[in-house]
A and B are shown apart, each in its own frame.
Chain A
Amino acid sequence: MLSSTLSLNLATEPLIDVRQLSRVDHTGATQLLNPTDFALMPGARIAITGASGSGKSVFLRALAMLDAPVSGEILWQSNPVSSDMIPAYRTHVCYLSQRPALIEGSVLENLQFPYTLKSLRKRTFNLSVASDLMAKAGKDASFMDKPAGDLSGGESQIVALVRTLQLEPQVMLFDEPTSALDPQSAAAVESLVLHWFDAGAGSRAYIWVSHDPQQARRMGDRHLTMVKGVLQTGDEA
């Protein structure tokens, strides 16, 4: 009885709860994100579209706490996040940029890299998990030894995605991850994401920023639009 109430509570509690979050540019003159209230529930698949420069990335980066907001707060599982907890928060809420950044070395070394960081040091790299994910993207075992510098844009993005997904984050923030990719790599990225999402059995959530309406429909259950720093429900008016 008690356990069922608890799990019910967990399911209805937002993963990320944002109140009056806003950002201005560093000169303080331009409003990049108008004060925004937003709740990301477990199991949510949200797609955001909007013109370039409308503030989609600004919103995602603010959620990942990569840029400082001028107002508002971000609650993680109903709790504020203190400065020293931000790295740990980012291991649960991962931001993936449009331009994949890989370190010098092989694909394998890139996949092992996160485990050298202080906030993930207690966890260990699992080769079979990583290889499984790679296999889902159509990459065989020999791919692991390839130098990162020799990879195509699509391959690099797949490596960056697997590097993040193997950590099993609860929330993913995708910032146009496939906009520079060939259709085949884009399909691999989408299927990896759906696999990660389904493996969470409703406990995980993501926000996908895209400029492609078809992809937004495919990847999102709920569709939001960013217009000049204002997050709006539904399609562009």
Chain B
Amino acid sequence: MNYQNLSAVDLGIAAALILINGALSVMLKLGLERQLFWASVRTVVQLLAVGYVLGWVFANAHWYVVLPLMCLMTLVAGISAAGRGKRTYAGQLIDSVISVWSSSWLVAAIGLFVIIHIRPWYEPQYAIPILGMILGNTLTAVSLGIERMTQELVSGRNTIEMILALGGTRWEAAQYAARQAVRAGMMPTLNQMTVVGIVSLPGMMTGQVLAGQDPESAVRYQIMIMFLIAAGSALGTVCAVLLTFRRLFSADHRFMIHRLLTRR
């Protein structure tokens, strides 16, 4: 069987499946109808828009088109990584943008230039989806890392002050929290890596197979991307945790817990 294009009617049938969710929401009084409606609309609109944008970028494959798009994607990922979590501090937005940006671009560069050898260097067919996959995972890792860091600092406040009062340095006081935070940030990727292929077939691999690529070649790409994602989220988490550490501990070894604010 060759590649089957989906018509508007086909999509309509698929979209009608949302009625199952709607019916369940009404029957079980979940009160989710409104949210379901808007979620469906957003799915359709956002994906159509991205398809349109990508189509245009692929047709106009210039570095001055591709690079700004990649910057925009990274910025959005960085901003949304900062927008989660119960607590925040002045500078959290900058910290999370820096963490997402530096780690994902470094790892994407290794993947695109050292491993895949794309030509030209901005080839959007590769650069955009690969950066996108790394960004999606780094974003989660960074936001989990910062959230766990701030949570550990608040709950471990007494211990942190005890270590400082005994003559510990700021890093000695913070390292337990920092370790827990890095761990938390890396966990989703680790979990994903242990079950990949058994419990779930990753989206990119599925897509390649559907598009007619032989599974073995698709698997190779998937293996590469898993390691890029693992490296990106690990680097991003460590970077975010260290930046948070620098914001909340002063150079004269003081813990500035008052800088942590509860988000409303």
Size of the A side of the interface (Cβ < 8 Å), in residues, is: 31
Contacts of B33 in A (CB 8 A): none
A96 & B165 in contact (Cβ 8 Å cutoff): yes
Q: Cβ of B159 < 8 Å from any Cβ of A?
A: yes
Q: Which of B161, B250, B255, B258 contacts A97 (CB 8 A)?
A: B161
- Whole-angstrom CA separation of A184 from B254 in the bound complex: 34
- Whole-angstrom CA separation of A158 from B255 in the bound complex: 25
Q: Which of A87, A95, A99, A103 contacts B169 (CB 8 A)?
A: A87
Q: Which of A25, A83, A95 contacts B253 (CB 8 A)?
A: A83
Fill in one digit per residue for B225-259: 1 if any A CB lies within 8 Å of its CB, else 0. Answer: 00000000000000000000000001111110011
Contact-residue size bin, chain B (C-beta under 8 Å from the other chain): 20 to 34
A118 & B162 in contact (Cβ 8 Å cutoff): no
Q: Cβ of B209 < 8 Å from any Cβ of A?
A: no
Q: Which of A83, A97, A117, A160 contacts B167 (CB 8 A)?
A: A117
Q: Cβ of A91 < 8 Å from any Cβ of B?
A: yes
Fill in one digit per residue for B148-191: 1 if any A CB lies within 8 Å of its CB, else 0. Answer: 00000000001101111111110010000000000000000000
Contacts of A88 in B (CB 8 A): 167
A101 & B158 in contact (Cβ 8 Å cutoff): yes
Q: Which of A68, A90, A120 contacts B165 (CB 8 A)?
A: A90
- Whole-angstrom CA separation of A40 from B172 in the bound complex: 29
List residues 32-90 of chain A with CB under 8 A from any CB of chain B.
64-68, 83, 86-88, 90
Instruction: Tell me the interface secondary structure of chain A in the complex.
Output: mixed
Beyond A83-B252, A87-B253, is A99–B167 a contact (Cβ under 8 Å)? no
Residue of A64, A96, A117 with most partner-chain B CB within 10 A: A117
- Whole-angstrom CA separation of A25 from B180 in the bound complex: 30
Chain A, Cβ-Cβ closest to B157: A101
Contacts of A117 in B (CB 8 A): 163, 166-169, 172
- Whole-angstrom CA separation of A92 from B250 in the bound complex: 21
B158 & A66 in contact (Cβ 8 Å cutoff): no
Fill in one digit per residue for B47-84: 1 if any A CB lies within 8 Å of its CB, else 0. Answer: 00000000000000000000000000000000000000
B165 & A99 in contact (Cβ 8 Å cutoff): no
Contacts of B162 in A (CB 8 A): 97, 100-101, 160
Chain B, Cβ-Cβ closest to A68: B254
For the complex formed, measure the closest distance between the CB of B88 and the CB atoms of chain A, giving whole angstroms.
15
4 extra interchain contacts, Cβ-Cβ under 8 A, other than A26-B258, A65-B254?
A: A117-B167, A118-B169, A120-B167, A160-B162
A–B complex contacts, Cβ < 8 Å, 6 sampled: A66-B254, A68-B252, A86-B253, A87-B253, A113-B166, A119-B169
Kindly list the 5 A-B residue pairs having the minimum CB-CB distance in the complex, ordered from nearest. Answer: A91-B167, A101-B158, A101-B162, A26-B258, A83-B252
